[in-house]
Structure 1
Amino acid sequence: MSTAEEFYKKANDAFFEDDYDEALEFYSKAIDLDATNPEYLLKRSATFQKIKSNKESLADAERALSLIVGKEEQEAVAAKAWLRKGIAQFELKEYQAAKTSFDQSKKLNFNEKSLDTWLKKTETQLEKTPKPTPPSDVTKNSGTGSSSFLSQSRVRHEWFQNENFIIISIFIKNVNKEKVNVYFADRSVSVTIKLPTGSDYSLELDPLAHEINPKESKYEVLSTKIEIKLKKAQVGIKWGVLEGEDSVFGSISTASGKLSYPSSAKHAKNWDSLEKEIGGEQDEKPEGDAALNSLFQQLYRDADDDTRKAMLKSYTESNGTCLSTNWNEVSKGKVETKPPEGMVAKKWNA
């Protein structure tokens, strides 16, 4: 029988793969076995936030706080709990209550990640809403649930990286530039997009796997997507994941300048590990194009039919800049050419 810690680890793995339904299942099992651990409740609260179940997120944050009150040795955890409570209240449009929670978090831990971002967003909303917002239990349609938010599953986002930047692409067409708000903090980024239909799309990445430089980060609204560039605080460091704890990061060679493949897919491939497996223990390993061809051949040989079709289609249509194994995604349309940072794709004239 699995322990609470084992369920918690499984839940974290599912969370980092964006499988929030599975994450909720495992966090709930961990809580059933150990209802006194506030960290379990806070992670489930964060998961509820991801799927816009804001009332449930608020309930878990308040429950976590009830376990911590009066325990000075857990001030850092209490700061996170107040922050999580404030985020849930903000999403429920209880802006004054959210500000109170954020202020309380700041008192306990001035350096709590993403506080400045949320305080700024809350103060902006309070300026637009002079009158206090009634509590969620007496306000009709106060939540920002799935009816008012564009379903996360209908909007695709991918991320890449190079030596200097993390590049996030959110694929939404024909968005008004004035309706896009992006907030950068040291370990978080918050994106809110007002859609032509009147609904909102929200993407909260908190905490990011590593620190960024908010002042040098930027975004651009294009006709087919919103592209966000996060400037790495540590240039040359390769991120293993976009969000959460990163235990597999390494370095990116400045000589290659290549983008890594997106790791936002549910079943992301560890390309570095695959390349090592292909190379084995040989003294002489292929380099450059030879190494890439060897990697491609190995993957193709061991793949099923759908994976092979996805690899051929993505690699061919993107002119060698993208390699995908997800046929369900690739089959939906042409795969765009995505050249490395600082390079421009040009047509070859025979």
Structure 2
Amino acid sequence: MSSAQEFFTKANDAFFADDFDEAVDLYNRAIELDATNAEYLLKRSAALVKLNKNKEALADAEKALHVSEESQNQASIAKAFLHKGRVKDYHIAKKSFDHSKELNPNERLLVTWIEKVDAELAKTATPPMAVNSTPQNFLSQSRVRHEWYQNENYVTISIFIKNVKKEAVKVEIEKRLISVSVQLPISGSDYSLELDPLAHEIIPSESKYEVLSTKIEIKLKKAQGGVKWGVLEGEDSLTGTISSGDGKLTYPSSARKAKNWDELEREISKEKEKPEGEEALNVLFQQIYGNADDDTRKAMLKSYTESSGTCLSTNWSEVKKGKVETKAPDGMVAKKWGA
């Protein structure tokens, strides 16, 4: 029979794989076995927010607050106020966040949420909304696909959102925490992802993120190289050592199907190293020249040299008949150097 922690770990995996219905079901099972764990309640609250079930999410946050207050766990109390703030209107959210900050001033996630609320409050002078209402664009959650994988030294998280501007992305990285905030293109609504706590410590100063045309890629440097993370977030009971086995490394991840992550990393590296512009032209020239026969090589060299780089021919029977003249692009006139 599975323990509460095992259900919780599986629920976290489902949450990160964007299967929020499955995540809620697994969190339910964990809570049935241990109803006094505030972290279980808060994670279910986050999953319910993803499903736009804000009333239920608020109820979980309030239950977590009650449990945390009974145990006098200040960090957990602060986190519960944080979750309450997410699912209420701007004005009450502001109060919840301020209260949470008083209890835990070092909670970096609060900085991001308070900035968002302050920005929204600055846009409008409307009276406070009803307590149970939720603004349409307040931290709305899109079902954005994301995955993670690892090698000996890094855990890589990919969040698949196209055409995001760099200035619209904010990433906070700490030893056991990562917070991502993105202003989504077109809709302008906010997407957020918080992993707290990460399964193991990382080195923030050696971690980085990159905003690409199709995704946001975050590389987290492991504090302990070679250690295999069994899960991305929460307690990790599956820790092991990454070994080559049959020569192909396979890593735990949120992907539904097994992937050859070594091959994926090589493809990503090749894509990033792909030459452009004049460099790409030179690479193409080298490839053609390297695979050509002697006559083709002579034609290429003669035509390119004599035409001052304006003509490239592989036809030796034509090129050998005479000098290859310089051909300037349309609208331009060819001149000798120094003329």
Q: Which moved more, 1:95-104 or 1:134-143?
A: 134-143
CA distance in 1, matches of 2:249, 2:126: 45
CA displacement, residues 191-230 of structure 1 (integer Å, 9 cap, x when unaligned): 1222221233322222211112223322111122211111
Pairing 1:266-345 to 2, within 5 Å after superposition: 266=256, 321-322=263-264, 337-339=267-269
CA-CA distance at 1:89 after TM superposition: 0.8
Equivalent pair of 1:96/1:133 in contact (CA under 8 Å): no
TM-score (norm 1): 0.61
Alignment CA distance shift 1:58-1:259 (3 Å): farther
Equivalent pair of 1:7/1:26 in contact (CA under 8 Å): no
What does residue 10 of structure 1 align with?
Answer: 7
Equivalent pair of 2:202/2:222 in contact (CA under 8 Å): yes
What does residue 100 of structure 2 align with?
Answer: 102
Structure 1: gaps spanning 5 or more residues: 270-313, 324-335
Q: Which moved more, 1:179-188 or 1:118-127?
A: 118-127
What does residue 113 of structure 2 align with?
Answer: 122
Pairing 1:90–2:32 present: no
What does residue 57 of structure 1 align with?
Answer: 57
CA-CA distance at 1:121 after TM superposition: 1.0
CA distance in 2, matches of 1:186, 1:23: 25
Equivalent pair of 1:8/1:26 in contact (CA under 8 Å): no
Equivalent pair of 1:170/1:227 in contact (CA under 8 Å): yes
CA distance in 2, matches of 1:79, 1:238: 28
* The one of 181, 184, 188 aligned to 2:173: 184
Give the SS at the match of 1:337. helix
What does residue 25 of structure 2 align with?
Answer: 25
Equivalent pair of 1:117/1:184 in contact (CA under 8 Å): no
TM-score (norm 2): 0.63
1:183 is matched by which residue type in structure 2? E
CA distance in 1, matches of 2:60, 2:50: 14
CA displacement, residues 69-93 of structure 1 (integer Å, 9 cap, x when unaligned): 3x4xx233x5214313313413544
CA displacement, residues 36-80 of structure 1 (integer Å, 9 cap, x when unaligned): 5545433422432454544432321212322443x4xx233x521
What does residue 327 of structure 2 align with?
Answer: none
Pairing 1:169–2:158 present: yes
CA distance in 1, matches of 2:154, 2:273: 14
Q: How many pairs were matched up? A: 271
What does residue 235 of structure 2 align with?
Answer: 245
Equivalent pair of 2:14/2:22 in contact (CA under 8 Å): no
Equivalent pair of 1:42/1:81 in contact (CA under 8 Å): no
Alignment CA distance shift 1:118-1:164 (3 Å): same
Equivalent pair of 1:95/1:122 in contact (CA under 8 Å): no
What does residue 145 of structure 2 align with?
Answer: 156
What does residue 255 of structure 2 align with?
Answer: 265
2:108 is matched by which residue type in structure 1? T
1:321 is matched by which residue type in structure 2? E
Alignment CA distance shift 1:116-1:132 (3 Å): farther
Query: Which has the greater radius of gyration?
Result: 2
Pairing 1:197–2:186 present: yes
CA distance in 1, matches of 2:202, 2:148: 15
CA-CA distance at 1:180 after TM superposition: 1.1
What does residue 216 of structure 1 align with?
Answer: 206
Q: Percent identity of the aligned residues?
A: 45
What does residue 236 of structure 1 align with?
Answer: 226
CA distance in 2, matches of 1:36, 1:248: 24
What does residue 292 of structure 1 align with?
Answer: none
Give the SS at the match of 1:203. strand
CA distance in 1, matches of 2:37, 2:217: 38
Equivalent pair of 1:12/1:23 in contact (CA under 8 Å): no
Give the SS at the match of 1:137. coil
CA distance in 2, matches of 1:149, 1:68: 26
Provide the alpha-carbon RMSD of the alignment.
4.2
CA-CA distance at 1:246 after TM superposition: 1.5
Give the SS at the match of 1:178. helix
* The one of 132, 135, 139 aligned to 1:142: 135
CA displacement, residues 90-142 of structure 1 (integer Å, 9 cap, x when unaligned): 35444422323422542xxx7xxxx5321221342355335899766347542
Equivalent pair of 1:10/1:26 in contact (CA under 8 Å): yes
* The one of 209, 215, 221 aligned to 1:225: 215
